[in-house]
Structure 1
Amino acid sequence: MGMGRGQAMPDADKQAANFQRVREAHQVEVAEDYVELIADLIEATGEARAADIARRLGVSHPTVVKAIGRLQRDGLVESLPYRSVFLTESGRAMAERSKRRHEVVLGFLKALGVADETAERDAEGIEHHVSDETLSAFERFIRDSR
């Protein structure tokens, strides 16, 4: 999907800004995945340990430790070495918003007739990129299709 010979390149500053927005969006997406999983683990088992987070996300323990450090700096979790991870108030709020978006996107895909397993897999990526306007449209569609 490269550029053909002789085609003008996009403006470098605009292109750099677009890539920066994508990187920032990805960081938010990762944070949302972590806080949502941490909330689910705490709800299900009473605690969220780095080893459990790593296993469920399919990443290494050092990757989780590094991510938890970032989440801690961002004020979303609290953690002590060799202890469970806990969500701050901000982390809980992010987890609730993310979970709600996930449920709406999942419900929308299922209302379209997408198989449960596929809908669950696809919702996992879509939920992070849906605007509030689109989410509201999904909710209206679900409500009107019942």
Structure 2
Amino acid sequence: MTEPPPRDDHARPPDALPAEGTQAERHRSARVARASILIEDYVELIDDLIATGGEARPTDIARRMGVSHATAIAAIARAKAAGLATSKPYRGVFLTAEGRDLAARVRARHRLVVDLLVAVGVPPAVAETDAEGIEHHVSDVALSAFERFLARRGG
């Protein structure tokens, strides 16, 4: 009879799993965050395009997001259904007051994550790229901690 191969410590399950409810809530929170990521990115981009060029056309949105025109149209439709945007034929996309508020919150969260990453030594260009993913998954509790950390170090 042969002996089983030695166990790889990295493959072993954790000694204690979190309570089912706790673990389920963590996964639910992650799913909710993933569902809102795209809409947040589109709303922020629409706001940026309006602020810099006076309008946000679906073609420009598609190009800047690196997606097809049809994909951008579908995302815009989701933003409209959520009450974040409106559009007029041949005039582009506009944000509602709720959409503008969301864009401002997303932008502030992005800046805070970038500032934290730079404060811990991440080069600014890398911090900007990394913040695009992190900003959507960080909790309000973590954001508050980031703010306190940056305030203590004077930045």
Bin for the TM-score computed over the shorter chain: 0.7 to 0.9
Amino acid across the alignment from 2:63:
R
Inter-CA distance 86–23: structure 2 relative to 1 (3 Å threshold): same
Hey, what's the Cα distance between the residues in 2 that align with 1:54 and 1:64? 5
Distance 2:79 2:111 in 1: 23
2:44 matches 1:73 = no
Q: Matches of 1:119 and 1:58 in 2, distance apart?
A: 20
In the alignment, structure 2 segments of 5+ residues that lack a partner are: 1-10, 13-21
Whole-angstrom CA distance in 1 between matches of 2:141 and 2:24? 27
2:47 corresponding residue in structure 1:
39
Match of 1:49 among 48, 57, 80: 57
Give the TM-score normalised by structure 2.
0.79
* Contact 2:118–2:127 (Cα < 8 Å) also in 1: yes
Matches within 5 A, 1:77-116: 77-116=85-124
Structure 2 Cα separation of the partners of residues 17 and 59 of structure 1: 32
1:9-67 Cα offsets, whole Å, 9 max, x none, are xxxxx999876654432221111101111111110101111111111111110000011
The two structures, once aligned, show a CA RMSD in angstroms of 2.2
Between the two proteins, the alignment pairs up a number of residues equal to 135
Structure 2 Cα separation of the partners of residues 144 and 18 of structure 1: 30
The TM-score normalised by the length of structure 1 is 0.83
Counterpart of 1:122? Answer: 130
Which structure has the greater CA radius of gyration? 2
Which structure 1 segments of 5+ residues have no match? 5-13
| Map of 1:11 onto structure 2 | none
1:72 is aligned with what amino acid? K
C-alpha separation in 1, matches of 2:58 and 2:25 = 34
Task: State the one-letter code of the partner of 1:48.
Answer: A
1:141 deviates by 1.3
Shift of 1:140: 1.3
Counterpart-to-counterpart distance in 1, 2:103 and 2:61: 15
